[in-house]
Chains A and B, each alone.
Chain A
């Protein structure tokens, strides 16, 4: 009994903690202006981008850098479907996710052929650059170097250029995808993902289909980041190839590391901190990049396991589990 009670209490606390954050966030627009709301919206997008990235690089342990490619695919898919085919933007979110998943499937091909480590890194980086080349050179579809603007839309009588309305949509999508990812990682599948990371050969010897595990993780990562791309397209209202280059990839990688590799909570923390930080550093023009670099380096030196490790030390409710608790 004494062992069950704390677990039940912790479970209850975890559930409360998970739902309390988005519940409180519902009230946030009452305290923001257009600028701060825009930044918060950007944070929600970064959460999904980082989440998708950490799944592959942290949980699955594959040195794959196709994340920005998935992001671009999602953004361009959403922009094209709204601008060229007249679909409502909201409808394009899952479609962009599906195309991001297709990108994940393609990116996993290299991993499935046994390519690992630095070789996989280079191949997936090339995939990202190839996609950027495609955005640049398929002008009739993507607008080429001029980019692709999204048409203005009105939902429930409110323009989709309104950051508050976007916030509620972004928040809904983010909560659903974070919760789905948490559930996925707590399932038998999630444990298989971790097993592949620790020792792929040993995992295969347990009759776990490692190829399928790798494939599905890439596909899910692509889906999550593809959805984030659709949100980004509406967030900035105009997609350009330059948004999906190496700088974005480096920023996303920094978010994964600062938050904590392979941690859903870390993905959230890293994304929030590193999206907010450059905005705070606006107060130091000319020094922003220096301060940003120093702060990221300081966090990594002080907390090699990322910000999530700090919270785990503070309370056990922040410890991420890879099993389902008894109710």
Chain B
């Protein structure tokens, strides 16, 4: 017992410095000419393609820095790899916080990693703006220092279902999804919205990741003759599902996909326009990727990352970066972490010029983006839509 007590005393002694929040905490990671920002993303592993989601944000930092920074301070990003793995993500967060001593955190794809990080980051109190991961549980229940800068799963899921029901006479809706948290973050809010509107999905099917054939699911759907299909599938599986829909004569049924798929990339994967002509995706932006309103953003990315092949993901983090810079400007040169959090909580109806919906953060609600547009092919051209048949 004596030994155990000594051991615990040693533990308490060693832990003491970590538990104390010293005076310098408010301005740690700040210098007169720099604000260090920890940027976490999956730069390796199976989900490394999601690292593209951080490109827009990095390019926006570069643009701000080129224009002189914020109150004379440059935005200095310190990148760390999470590999879309919770243990590696926690290591990355702890490195950024305790070793690199960044001022704040921004970024993060992979909802599972973000969920695992939440308790640690909430405890440290560092401002963290989530710029890609969509799970609602990252920012709900409210954590004082965690802000969502993209539409969450529930916002996207509800937008998907609202679009589906905006098609006249839609009564019979089918759902196909992966059995993971990412897919459920879209499909569950979509289900809730459908039920609120008195529509129960007629068939709900699972297609696992890596599956290379969707014949069984398509034939099952054919029996139910749905008016619309909601597909919470990754891009590769979406392409397979659409291919098999066409193969079994169901290519005319519209399919609503998630923000995890890109309209034109899906077309590239299937290589057949007929398979995607009735495919719609959540599209968080004001225009098509190659549209006039998106061109300045694409040019900005290419200016700093000339080799970047633009896709939906390339732009996703720009809106939250804009809101961050706006809050930093509001705080002024006397920046502290608490002041930044207060300024972020004061962001109202912030029009980013790139996201289809504005950002609003309040002390009670840190999920900033409440809706999303939809993209689909209209007369063979990719078009951004507010509702069925209504261009944005």
Instruction: Name A residues whose Cβ lies closer than 8 Å to a Cβ of B.
Output: 26, 29-30, 33-36, 38-39, 42, 136-137, 144-147, 149, 152, 156-158, 161-165, 167-168, 172, 232, 235-238, 240, 242-243, 247, 278-279, 282, 285-286, 288-289
Contacts and interface: CB of A to CB of B under 8 A. Distances in A.
Nearest to A172: B7
B184 interface: yes
Interface stretch (B81-89, B139-147, B349-357): B81-89
B87 A168 contact: no
Given A26-B10, A285-B81, A162 B180 contact: no
Given A34-B18, A34-B98, A278 B8 contact: no
Contacts of B98: 33-35
A175 to B, nearest CB: 12
Contact of A137 (B86, B179, B184): B179
Contacts of A149: 115, 119
Given A146-B137, A240-B112, A162 B19 contact: yes
A147 B92 CA distance: 20
Instruction: List 4 A-B pairs, minimum CB-CB distance, nearest first.
Output: A29-B14, A145-B181, A34-B98, A35-B94
Chain A binding site: helix, strand, loop or mixed by DSSP?
Answer: helix
Contacts of B81: 282, 285, 288
A281 to B, nearest CB: 9
Interface residues of B, number: 41
A327 to B, nearest CB: 24
Given A162-B18, A164-B14, A242-B180, 12 more contacts: A29-B11, A34-B97, A34-B98, A38-B94, A39-B91, A145-B181, A145-B184, A147-B112, A236-B116, A243-B86, A243-B87, A285-B44
Given A146-B115, A152-B119, A30 B14 contact: yes
A282 B85 CA distance: 14
Given A35-B94, A282-B80, A158 B119 contact: no
Contacts of A286: 43-44
Contacts of A34: 18, 94, 97-98
B95 interface: yes
A158 B80 CA distance: 29
A238 B8 contact: no
B120 interface: yes
B333 to A, nearest CB: 29
B116 A240 contact: yes
A36 B94 CA distance: 8
Nearest to A292: B44
B216 interface: no
Given A34-B97, A38-B94, A278 B115 contact: no
Given A136-B179, A240-B116, A243-B86, A158 B94 contact: no
B387 interface: no
Contacts of A240: 86, 112, 116, 181
B11 A38 contact: no
Given A33-B99, A35-B99, A242-B112, A236 B90 contact: yes
B15 interface: yes
Given A34-B18, A145-B179, A285-B43, A238 B115 contact: yes
Contacts of A243: 85-87
Contacts of B182: 145
Interface string B116-142: 100110010000000000010100000
B362 interface: no
B12 interface: yes
B86 A161 contact: no
Contacts of A285: 43-44, 79, 81
Given A33-B99, A36-B99, A162-B18, A238 B91 contact: no
A140 B330 CA distance: 45
A42 B91 contact: yes
Contact of A157 (B12, B18, B85, B97): B12
Contact of B180 (A38, A145, A247, A288): A145
A167 B14 CA distance: 11
30 contacts: A29-B14, A30-B14, A34-B18, A34-B94, A35-B95, A38-B94, A136-B179, A145-B181, A145-B184, A146-B115, A146-B137, A146-B184, A152-B119, A156-B11, A157-B12, A158-B11, A158-B15, A164-B18, A165-B15, A172-B7, A237-B90, A237-B116, A238-B115, A242-B86, A242-B112, A247-B85, A278-B88, A282-B95, A286-B43, A286-B44
Interface string B42-54: 0111000000000
Contacts of B183: 145
A35 B8 CA distance: 21
A156 B90 contact: no
A79 B123 CA distance: 20
Nearest to B88: A278
Nearest to A31: B14
Interface string B15-29: 100110000000000
Contact of A162 (B15, B92, B137): B15
A163 B11 CA distance: 10
A146 B138 CA distance: 11
A66 B12 CA distance: 38
A168 B119 contact: no
Contacts of A145: 179-184
Contacts of B99: 33, 35-36
Contacts of B87: 42, 232, 235-236, 243
A318 B322 CA distance: 59
B323 to A, nearest CB: 26
A26 B15 CA distance: 13
A136 B181 CA distance: 10
Contacts of A30: 14
Contacts of B44: 285-286, 288-289
Given A29-B14, A35-B99, A238-B115, A161 B184 contact: no
Nearest to B6: A26
